[in-house]
Amino acid sequence: MTAGGLETLIIGIFNFFLAMMLNPAVQAKSWAEIDSVIGRDRLPRVSDQASLPYMRSVIAEVFRLNPPITLGAVHALSQDDIYAGMH
């Protein structure tokens, strides 16, 4: 179960890195918001989430543009299926 969850996490992180490389202005604005709220002395905490609206929006947009899973592909067949005489 860990491996299944780990893959989607890694894909989401890679999509975030790609989005930040392609949009340096968004990266700079996100970094400025994090620095102003958290500073450089500690890591973010869950309690900081309410104070970081721009960063929350950036993460939501990354997941909207590039979801880490392929939606609907799980139920698609690669070839026709016949079961108990039914196609």
Q: What is the pLDDT along the chain (87 residues), one digit of tens a residue?
A: 666 677 778 888 898 999 999 999 999 999 999 999 999 899 999 999 999 999 999 999 988 888 777 665 566 677 888 888 888
Residue 82 within a domain: no
DSSP code for 82: -
Establish if 60 belongs to a structural domain.
Answer: yes
Please state the pTM of the whole predicted model.
Answer: 0.68
Instruction: Confirm whether 80 is domain-assigned.
Output: no
CA–CA separation, 45 vs 17, rounded Å?
20
Domain that residue 63 falls in: 2-71
In a domain, 6, yes or no: yes
Task: Decide: helix, strand or coil at residue 83.
Answer: strand
Residue 28 lies in a domain: yes
Total domains in the fold of the chain: 1
- CA dist., res. 65 & res. 8, Å (int): 15
**Quick check: is 30 in a domain?**
yes
Does residue 81 lie in a domain region? no
Question: What are the backbone angles phi and psi of residue 83, rounded to the nearest 5°?
Answer: -130, 125
**Residue 32 within any structural domain of the chain:** yes
